[in-house]
Chain A
Amino acid sequence: MVSLMSELHRLERRLLVALKDGTCLQIEELSEKTDLPEASVGRALMWLAEKKLIIVREEKRTTIRLGSEGLKFLKEGMPERRLVNTIIEAGGEISLNEVTELSDINSELVNIAIGWARRKEWLQIIKNETTMLKVKEEPKRDLEEELIQLLSTSTHFADELDPDFMNSLQLLMNRPNVIVKEEKLKRLVKLTAEGLALANMVQETEDVSQLTPEHIRSGTWRNIRLRTYNINAPVANYWPGKKQPYKRFLDNLKLNLVALGFEEMEGPIVELMFFNCDALFMPQDHPAREIHDIYYPEEPIYGRLPERELLFLENVKSAHEDGFNTGSKGWGYTFSTNESMRLILRSQGTALSARTMISRDLNVPGKYFSISRCYRPDLVDRTHLTEFDQVEGIVVGKELTFKDLLGVLEMFAVEVAGADRVRFRPDYFPFTEPSVELAAFKEEFGWIEFGGAGMFRPEVTQPLGVEVPVIAWGLGVNRLYMMEAGIDDIRKLYTNDLNWLRKQRLR
């Protein structure tokens, strides 16, 4: 019993209390008594009936209401009343012919009205040479008129009418269209014995869904019973604030690089050709510098180097023209310092490495990395973007060799990307020699090209004032994330799809 009690809904409890005095009530009455909408009462009654706490008895009953003629009577008065009023207005006595003239009653109905008025003893008929109608005094409102008035408010059950009206009802029903009679189902609700027992218990404890500060403060929580919930019921969505998943991946990558002793580099989006290409020993007519590979701003077109760095510009010019003092023969063309000051949108992260090498703050030994947005004129589709992120890094140190380069690459593949083993292939970049391509094997993906690396050429390092070997590497970070997240459309990385972001699981 007690367990049943705790399962009861707030609505059910209120109905039990309302039914406790043992009377049979209808839904309408219950609604009034409990101050609940009829729909809620109906719903709660269904639950109670299922639990066998109430019995619902159905009765067929007759209802009565005014018909079209009845409504007319209500508005204009009954014909016999209107007849009598006409006579009184005319002085109390009037000929039959005059009645038809003066009254607004349809002539066909006049005789019927006279009949009813006589039967009610409201008028006398005096038959001389002309038939005269006489009314002594205005008759009081009779029961039929009272009944019409009563029915004007709502539908009534015939069996609930005052017995005094029974005769009048019969009379009115004899007149066409005055009263409409209908059969209606009446549902009467009564508690079962078990229901009654429960109802008595409800009185002791109050049914509560939401515990309130008031309950706690006042101590009423002792007398209330907290309803148990269906804890498996579905609830509203909640969308937490969270990191963009690809950005989160980059954050983690950064932490890994920092753990390996790498320091973050910085550089501008609108970059000098000097850092993006020239300092990297890419000849000024290199195909990768043409408009189909690099974005050129309309404005500003040229930038400047700070005073201190102009010396490096001269060195770089010399490296291109005749190899500077590196022992290289250079590219053998006339270098344009003007072209070097051309501004572009950074097309490779290596520009940041060039900036770092030229910087006063360069540490030897040092390890540096950058995650930078780079730009190339490309149409956007499943596999191409016109801007993307590059992860690049350099290691600067006196004793560094190609062996160390391979060691750095292996460390990334294994520690950062979780690869099982690595493979190296010869590759080519204008700014590194030797150059190498890193492929890594992951059980679930097979062999994947991971990135490129190399040792900066002496024509790159020496003109920038770096006298020790520099290892440079770049990782295909977009691809690495796509693989990890199982994404095959590169556009998803910078997605506009909120639903996807909300539902993406973090790993």
Chain B
Amino acid sequence: MPTVNVLFNDLQRLVGQKLPSNQIELNEILSYVKGELEVFDGDELAIEIKDGNRPDLWNVEGIARALRGILGIEKGLKEYHIVGDSGIETYVDKDLRRIRPYICCSVVKGVKLDNEVIRELVHLQDKLDQTYGRRRKRSSIGLYNLDLIKPPIEYRSVKPTEISFTPLESEEEMNLKEILEKHPKGIEYGHTVEKFERWPILIDSKSEVLSFPPIINSNDLGRITEDIEDIFVEVTGTSYETVLNTLTLVTLSLADRGEQIYSTKVFYPYAFPSRDKGEDVTPHLKIKKIRLKDQYVKQILGLELDRKTILELLSKARFAVINSNKDSLEVIIPCYRIDIMHPVDVVEDLGIIYGYNKIEPRWPQMITFGKISDKEIFSDLVREIMIGLGCQEVLSFTLDSGENQKEKMNLKELKLVKISNPKTLRFTNVRGWLLPSLMAFLSNNTHIEYPQKVFEVGDCVLFDTKTSSGVRDVRKVSFITIHSSSNFSEAKSMLDALLHNIGFDYNLKTIQHPTFITGRVGRVVVFGEDVGLIGEISPSVLDKWNLENPAVAFELDLNALKEMISSKEKK
């Protein structure tokens, strides 16, 4: 979740009220904007905003705007106005439709920048690019010195080697291909364009490059310094709504400091879902309306709120109301509240401002029948018997390495679910059987008093073409004992005891299995169906796990056994 770095004094000044300097009390206030202090070091605050869908709270201006309402300092709708048309036009090339189709721009004049403001601006830009802009794929922001641009601007595509310019954070001129290969931003965000033959570029009428979206700005036109007064803002991307919203958020963060907003015109040669081809004037800064029933508020929150209280809460949440009738209200949503999709989003705001801790909790009075699943009941029965037989239960990870599951068990063939994006070599597959987990366990305890008798009841995943996903979970039990005189009959006694007590007769079918000693391994057969394995572990396997004592084990498929019980019950 995004973290906002702010100066305490800056926050206090923007809120317009003294704020508590006590961490607990300040946290209490910040909780109304889903904020939590990560750092509170004198003047420096780092506030984590725990809402990934509220980019309007990702800078200090946005936090202050919301707090002013909640604290009752400035209630109701916060309106922003466009002063006029900047006269700047941007022409979009038809090739961009397939590459990066949308661009929205604005102009902000009379900016007073200092290092602190620039720092916050860069932070906001970065957070929007990373999170809301999906690492610049969906949208990315560019800011420019308006005075240096010679309009009209062209948003078009070029071949990677066609154009060269000096990018930010660099001194040499590079072509676009070189930027992708050498420049840190090119390496980081190259994936957004490299699959295309032609790449986006933004240039002015004198063919001066503004930027190579969404990679990097020009070091000449696209560098923001303290002496700049007028800024050109542009957002490009693959989702029109995201691009437009992002432009709104950046433009407003500047306007909140007193600057004036001017619109620009963009000309598209193509139409797209929300509009026809031709002229688009941005930013929009349009309010939205949503119908809210009083009854709905009560129904969600469980509070008997009267109309007056609802209106008061709405105004603290910085909404306005028009066209109210007997049982509903038309709520005006400010342009920056891009998170509001449904009346329930407004209701949450009302609940938060009312105060979660003022709401009396109530245990829902409904009669329901509690129940553990049949699968777990059966597993618990098996666990009960194994524990009664003197075994220590263990719990291990269901992810394992292919080496543990196969090579170290002498197996060549075992089809496992393999993870395509593993984080470490230790966890690359979902396990297909439990015994390797138990072997790893024993291997870790060679210095601990013998005999050791352990078991696990746990899940494995096996391939099964009969299922809709091609794989299925299999609940298994596995037992192993290790000591100087362990042998087959010991494991068989345990198997006898387990199966007898859970209601099964069985027989063993001699098989060859590379994990076990030949002639000392068998399949466990119940009602003619294979349900598991029992055997003495082969010395070559013991050796691979650094075990110096004989070990015997069995493993059973509990799903198969349970199904037999269910089918018996049906008969």
Q: Show the binding face of A for B, using Cβ within 8 Å.
A: 237, 239-244, 246-247, 251, 254, 257-266, 268-270, 272, 285, 287, 291-292, 295-300, 303-306, 323, 326-333, 343, 345, 363, 365-367, 373, 375, 377-380, 386-387, 395, 397, 399-404, 406-411, 422-428, 430, 433-437, 455, 457-459, 469, 471, 493-494, 496-499, 501-502
On whether the beta carbons of B421 and A328 are closer than 8 Å, the reply is no
Pick from B102-110, B209-217, B338-346, B540-548 the stretch touching chain A. B338-346
- Asked if B383 is at the interface of the complex by the 8 Å CB criterion, the answer is yes
CB < 8 Å A-B pair total: 272
Nearest A residue to B452 by beta-carbon distance? Answer: A498
One of A241, A243, A379, A428 near B34 (C-beta < 8 A): A428
14 additional A-B residue pairs with CB within 8 Å, beyond A380-B424, A459-B342: A269-B430, A287-B52, A295-B420, A298-B420, A305-B468, A326-B342, A367-B366, A375-B399, A379-B423, A387-B399, A401-B301, A404-B363, A424-B359, A436-B356
B281-304, CB < 8 A from A: 299-303
Contacts of A501 in B (CB 8 A): 392, 394
How far apart are A436's CB and chain B's nearest CB, in angstroms?
6
- Asked if B271 is at the interface of the complex by the 8 Å CB criterion, the answer is no
- Asked if B510 is at the interface of the complex by the 8 Å CB criterion, the answer is no
Nearest B residue to A401 by beta-carbon distance? Answer: B302
How far apart are B310's CB and chain A's nearest CB, in angstroms?
15
In the complex, A455 Cα to B348 Cα: how many Å? 10
In the complex, A292 Cα to B397 Cα: how many Å? 20
In the complex, A494 Cα to B351 Cα: how many Å? 40
On whether the beta carbons of A426 and B34 are closer than 8 Å, the reply is yes
The answer to whether residues A366 and B368 also contact, given A264-B376, A303-B470 and a CB cut-off of 8 A, is: yes
- Asked if B131 is at the interface of the complex by the 8 Å CB criterion, the answer is yes
Task: For chain B, give the interface size range.
Answer: 35 or more
On whether the beta carbons of B53 and A430 are closer than 8 Å, the reply is yes
Interface residues as binary, B362-387 with A (CB distance below 8 Å gives 1, 0 otherwise): 11101111111101100010010011
On whether the beta carbons of A402 and B351 are closer than 8 Å, the reply is yes
How far apart are A306's CB and chain B's nearest CB, in angstroms?
7
The answer to whether residues A242 and B395 also contact, given A264-B371, A402-B351, A459-B342 and a CB cut-off of 8 A, is: no
On whether the beta carbons of B50 and A428 are closer than 8 Å, the reply is yes
One of A244, A270, A428 near B54 (C-beta < 8 A): A428
CB<8 Å pairs between A and B, sample of 9? A241-B393, A285-B134, A343-B471, A345-B430, A365-B367, A366-B368, A379-B424, A459-B341, A502-B448
In the complex, A493 Cα to B396 Cα: how many Å? 9
Identify the 5 closest CB pairs spanning chains A and B, nearest first.
Answer: A401-B302, A403-B302, A303-B469, A258-B370, A406-B361
On whether the beta carbons of B399 and A386 are closer than 8 Å, the reply is yes
- Asked if B314 is at the interface of the complex by the 8 Å CB criterion, the answer is no
- Asked if B444 is at the interface of the complex by the 8 Å CB criterion, the answer is yes
- Asked if B528 is at the interface of the complex by the 8 Å CB criterion, the answer is no
On whether the beta carbons of B364 and A496 are closer than 8 Å, the reply is no
Nearest B residue to A281 by beta-carbon distance? Answer: B341
Nearest B residue to A377 by beta-carbon distance? Answer: B423
How far apart are B510's CB and chain A's nearest CB, in angstroms?
30
Nearest B residue to A368 by beta-carbon distance? Answer: B368
On whether the beta carbons of A269 and B461 are closer than 8 Å, the reply is yes
On whether the beta carbons of A241 and B387 are closer than 8 Å, the reply is yes
On whether the beta carbons of A407 and B390 are closer than 8 Å, the reply is no
One of A300, A400, A402 near B471 (C-beta < 8 A): A300
One of B300, B383, B430 near A243 (C-beta < 8 A): B383
In the complex, A327 Cα to B291 Cα: how many Å? 10
